[in-house]
């Protein structure tokens, strides 16, 4: 299972909420991974226009307010292969089998609906919602 999405959300929250600039090694300590992996995630977020480098003090900053950054934007930023799907169908169903002959068209439609619902759900949530959830758990 790929964890780039949750790591990206974690890193963006750190950037948003830190009173001072953070570097990849500091973020890696919070995430529990190495700094090179964090830099890879940051590069994807930067390419998507969600973060930028801070001038002077170094570190990173958000390019928009947390309320304006949707989880869908973050998810799409870290998906390195846009052709990958959440759900995929096995490659070689046997056409001589009644199920094998019909499984691909049946599941293709269902899986497309599920992925569209997933995208709509991510589009309704923002980085600010994640921050609010953390603040609520702290209290």
* pLDDT in single tens digits along all 139 residues of the chain: 579 999 999 999 999 999 988 889 999 999 999 999 999 999 999 999 999 987 766 789 999 999 999 999 999 999 877 666 778 888 898 999 999 999 999 999 999 999 999 999 999 999 999 999 999 999 9
pLDDT at 56: 66
- Dihedral in degrees, nearest 10, Cα atoms 116, 119, 124, 125: 150
In this prediction, residue 4 carries a pLDDT of: 94
> Helix or strand or coil: residue 14?
helix
What pLDDT sits at residue 138?
93
The three-class DSSP label of residue 52 is strand
List, in sequence order, every residue forming a beta bridge with 62; answer none if it has no partner.
Answer: 51
Residue 58: what pLDDT? 73
pLDDT, residue 1, reads: 52
Cα 20 to chain center, whole Å? 24
Please measure the distance between the N-terminal and C-terminal CA atoms of the chain and give it in whole angstroms. Answer: 32
**51, 63 contact by CB (below 8 A):** yes
């Amino acid at each position: 299972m790929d964890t780039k999405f949750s790591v990206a959300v974690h890193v963006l929250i750190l950037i948003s909420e830190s009173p001072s600039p953070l570097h990849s090694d500091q973020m890696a300590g919070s995430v529990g991974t190495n700094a090179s992996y964090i830099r890879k995630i940051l590069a994807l977020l930067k390419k998507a226009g969600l973060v930028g480098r801070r001038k002077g003090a170094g570190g990173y900053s958000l390019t928009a307010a947390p309320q304006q950054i949707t989880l869908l934007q973050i998810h799409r930023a870290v998906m390195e292969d846009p052709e990958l799907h959440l759900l995929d169908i096995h490659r070689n169903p046997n056409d001589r089998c009644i199920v094998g002959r019909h499984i691909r068209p049946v599941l293709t439609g269902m899986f497309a609906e599920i992925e569209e619902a997933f995208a709509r759900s991510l589009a309704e949530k923002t980085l600010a919602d994640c921050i609010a959830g953390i603040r609520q758990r702290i209290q």
